[in-house]
């Protein structure tokens, strides 16, 4: 990422204005732009000073005893460069005629606001120098800091209005240089569009409070900016001066970095980030710096290079825009956990076969949809795993504890909007259907994400004790319903996506990459059949369990034909992450485990089968990502169902309590006389009922999978998860055993 420093840019802008001395009107406009830019530089320094001082004051308020806060220094010095450019702007405004009178009036009003801000900053500096904070416990500092936001808001509006007025004057004196004007207008429109977005939000010095959410603003601008990048890339800069060409490339690159910053905020917006303005402040500050130090600086350099090219091009710089901030201690709004899933109607379509191959942008649309589905399913599978391990097998009777910490995963927001944006490059007959299906899936994931947040809050605040786990049980049952719906939606979407992709021929059907991808995908489809058949068997929809014979046959063929399929593709070695032979061979290696896992059904359950299949998909998609040819990634299978109660045993084990034998009270070898009374004293002996539970069916059989008739269990599990357990025969085996044991526990077990 390029790093920009505003202090260096000021030198560039001075050079730019000096080169235009021969044109009085142009010089007047750029002098005013320079005045605004230097104002922004001073106000940025003031903002950073106030930010640090506010944080220090808040810390000092919590201390007892002597105060020792860091010093506040007004960064707006007398006789600064801003005053010079203000004088230049006033003196040159006459060259603009009637426009100059209007601009002069705006300049005077803006300078009055700046003087008021400067006066307040110097009062705060004096307050600190006199140590008045020792007398009033920083009340005076808080009052002065609280006056800044209103003044800054008024100044920013006047600053923005003056900059826009400079635009209007500039439009009335454009030169006839078509090529330069096309780029100049496109870049200028982008800059003002980005500036308008930032004007809608405020940096909050009291970042511990939650007063704003940038999510919706960033989502809207994400799509708009991406469309602008496409428009810029379509323009041909061949007729521009070579320095101007490089500036255009830098401008597009900075737009991409701004997009990455937006995606970072949206993709990394975790649960704790929703509780304060801290992350919103960080993103807002980053975007402000990238706009001023990146886009506006690149645009002004473009103007400078074009004017120095001898084409007679006339334009004006765009001034930097100051950041607006506030001090808002507003309360955190109550989270909204209402269900959001609403099924939209999905129009049908029939893919139209055409002889043309998919172009680059259409292929990107397929990749965006695959990324959207895979990232969402991956996130859901993690979420479902937490439910399985914490609440899926419990009825919460006499339950006192609940653990759920799943705050570091979010739904694929950016992937969804990028997929929507790229849909325009797909055939018209399928666009409405794909958009509707993506909307339904996203709506369902939003509801699940709301439940994830609610469960995280339930765990953090222990709200589950207030209603005895009633709300958690409702969420569990609702998620189970949504899981079944999601499985149907994603499966249908996957079929439609492949149908559209296969409606046109491959660009290089005979290449080694395509030949290998087809062989791998054939195996993936066969494994998918076995996966779904196993699922139906466990749900008792099928009477018989599938076998792995077809998978074994394809595996043999895949390995036999490896070097024929991969002919001409370089083998880089297993320790090179870019070697395509690694995923090819790993898919075959993983496929050999199907027969072993199916032999352990239904004892093992659905999880090992699902994990094996998704591992195959992961390796297949890795091969596709390495391919230079157009191959479509496959879609993960969601963990779409789980059982609230364990699967019942086919032959429940009968009770095994021993029948007690009555004691013989007459000792052997002793004859009791008629007149003799012998008293025997017996002690009561408590015998604990103990049983052995076998978890290996290969040793005992299915009838032992029941605790009926066994003694109540009171267990404390101490699990070793150190590095020494990282072996197939240790921690995985222990986890499997514990899951089986938990699955057969009864209400009386603790």
C-alpha closest to that of 642 among 615, 605, 612, 614? 605
284-298, 393-407, 476-490: least confidently modelled range = 393-407
CA distances from 640 to 339, 383, 439, 490 (A): 19, 11, 19, 10
The model's pLDDT over 625-684, given as tens digits with 9 standing for 90+, comes to: 999 999 999 999 998 655 444 433 333 333 344 444 444 544 444 444 444 444 444 444
Half-sphere exposure of 686 (CA within 13 A, CB side): 1
- pTM over 0.85? The answer is no
What's the rounded mean pLDDT across residues 127-155?
87
pLDDT at 685: 43
Q: 525: part of which helix (H) or strand (E)?
A: helix 512-538
Calpha distance 343→365 (Å, rounded): 23
CA dihedral for 486, 491, 496, 498, sign (positive or negative): positive
pLDDT tens digits for range 439-452: 999 999 989 888 88
- Using CA atoms, how far apart are residues 589 and 564, in angstroms rounded to an integer? 18
Burial 358-377 (b: 16+ CB within 10 A, else e): beeebbbbbbbbbbbbbbbb
Considering 215-229, 233-247, 360-374, 400-414, the range whose residues carry the highest mean pLDDT is: 360-374
The model's pLDDT over 298-341, given as tens digits with 9 standing for 90+, comes to 988 888 887 776 655 556 667 777 777 777 776 655 555 566 78
Higher pLDDT, 689 or 594: 594
CB atoms closer than 10 angstroms to residue 461: 10
State residue 313's pLDDT score: 55
Count of all residues that appear for the chain in the document: 750
Mean pLDDT of 49-54: 88
Q: Residue 730 carries which DSSP code?
A: S
Report the run of H or E that residue 373 belongs to, with start and end: helix 360-390
Mean pLDDT of all residues belonging to the chain: 81
Q: How far apart are the first and last CA of the chain?
A: 56
Instruction: Give 326's DSSP letter.
Output: E
Please choose, from the candidates 409, 483, 489, the residue with its C-alpha nearest in 3D space to the C-alpha of residue 441.
Answer: 489
Residue 651: other Cβ atoms inside 10 A: 11
CB under 8 Å to 533, separation ≥6 — which residues? 542, 545, 546
- Give the model's pLDDT for residue 340: 78
DSSP 83-143: HHHHHHHHHHGGGGTHHHHHHHHHHHHHHHHHHHHHHHHHHHHHHHHTTTHHHHTTHHHHH
Q: For residue 662, what are its two tokens? A: 């009555």
């Amino acid at each position: 990422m390029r790093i920009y420093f505003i202090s260096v840019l000021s030198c560039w802008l001075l050079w730019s204005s000096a080169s235009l001395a021969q044109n009085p009107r142009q010089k007047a406009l750029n002098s005013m732009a320079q005045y605004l830019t230097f104002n922004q530089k001073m106000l940025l320094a003031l903002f950073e000073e106030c930010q640090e001082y506010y944080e220090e004051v808040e810390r000092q308020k919590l201390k007892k005893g002597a105060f020792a806060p860091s010093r506040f220094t007004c960064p707006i010095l007398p006789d600064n460069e801003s005053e010079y450019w203000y004088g230049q702007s006033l003196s040159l405004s006459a060259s603009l005629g009637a426009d100059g009178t209007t601009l002069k009036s705006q300049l005077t009003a803006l300078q009055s606001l700046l003087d008021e801000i400067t006066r307040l900053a110097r009062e705060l500096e004096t307050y600190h120098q006199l140590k008045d904070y020792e007398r009033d416990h920083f009340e005076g500092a808080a009052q002065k800091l609280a006056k800044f936001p209103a003044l800054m808001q008024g100044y920013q509006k006047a600053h923005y209005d003056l900059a826009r007025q400079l635009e209007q004057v500039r439009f009335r004196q454009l030169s006839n240089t078509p090529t330069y004007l096309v780029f100049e207008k496109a870049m200028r429109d982008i800059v003002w569009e980005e500036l308008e977005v930032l004007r809608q939000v405020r940096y909050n010095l009291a970042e511990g409070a939650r007063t704003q959410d940038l999510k919706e603003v960033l989502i809207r601008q994400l799509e708009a900016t991406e469309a602008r990048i496409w428009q810029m890339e379509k323009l041909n800069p061949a007729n521009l001066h070579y320095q101007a060409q490089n500036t255009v490339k830098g401008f597009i690159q900075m737009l991409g970095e701004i997009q990455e910053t937006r995606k970072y905020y949206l993709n990394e917006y975790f649960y704790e980030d929703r509780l304060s303005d801290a992350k919103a402040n960080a993103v807002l500050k980053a975007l402000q710096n990238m706009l001023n130090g990146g886009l506006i600086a690149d645009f002004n350099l473009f103007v400078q290079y074009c004017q120095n090219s001898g084409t007679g091009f006339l334009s004006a710089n765009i001034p930097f825009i100051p950041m607006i901030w506030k001090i808002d201690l507003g309360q955190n709004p109550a989270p909204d956990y209402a269900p959001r899933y609403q099924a939209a109607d999905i129009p049908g379509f029939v893919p139209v076969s055409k002889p043309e191959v998919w172009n680059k942008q259409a292929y990107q649309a397929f990749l965006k949809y695959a990324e959207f589905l895979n990232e969402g399913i991956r996130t859901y599978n993690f979420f479902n795993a937490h439910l399985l391990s914490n609440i899926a097998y419990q009825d919460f009777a006499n339950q006192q504890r609940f653990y759920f910490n799943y705050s570091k995963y979010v739904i694929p927001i950016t992937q969804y909007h990028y997929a929507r944006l790229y849909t325009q490059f797909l055939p018209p007959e399928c666009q409405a259907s794909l958009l509707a299906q993506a909307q339904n899936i996203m709506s369902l994931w939003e509801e699940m994400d709301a439940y994830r947040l609610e469960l995280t809050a339930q765990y953090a605040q222990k709200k589950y004790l207030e209603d005895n786990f009633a709300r958690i049980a409702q969420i569990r049952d609702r998620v189970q319903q949504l899981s079944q719906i999601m499985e149907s939606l994603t499966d249908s979407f996957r079929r439609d996506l492949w149908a559209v992709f296969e409606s046109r021929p491959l660009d290089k059907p005979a290449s080694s990459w395509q030949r290998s991808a087809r062989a791998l995908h054939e195996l993936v489809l066969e494994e998918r059949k076995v996966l779904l058949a196993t699922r139906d068997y466990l749900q008792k929809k099928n009477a018989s369990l599938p076998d792995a014979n077809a998978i074994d046959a394809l595996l043999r063929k895949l390995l036999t034909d490896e070097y024929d399929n991969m002919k001409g593709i370089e083998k880089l070695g297993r320790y090179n992450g870019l070697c395509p032979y690694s995923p090819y061979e790993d898919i075959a290696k993983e496929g050999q485990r199907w027969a072993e896992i199916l032999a352990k059904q239904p004892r093992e359950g659905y999880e090992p089968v699902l994990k094996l299949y998704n591992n195959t998909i992961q390796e297949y998609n890795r091969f596709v990502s390495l391919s230079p040819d157009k191959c479509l990634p496959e879609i993960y299978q969601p963990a779409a169902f789980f059982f609230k109660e364990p699967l019942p045993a086919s032959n429940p084990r009968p009770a095994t309590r021993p029948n007690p034998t009555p004691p013989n009270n007459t000792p052997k070898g002793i004859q009791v006389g008629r007149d003799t009374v012998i008293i025997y004293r017996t002690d009561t002996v408590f015998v604990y009922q103990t049983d052995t539970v076998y978890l290996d069916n290969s040793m005992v059989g299915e009838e032992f999978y029941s605790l009926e008739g066994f003694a109540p269990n009171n267990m404390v599990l101490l699990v070793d998860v150190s590095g020494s357990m990282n072996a197939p025969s240790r921690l995985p085996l222990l986890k499997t055993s514990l899951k089986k044991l938990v699955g057969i526990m009864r209400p009386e077990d603790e």
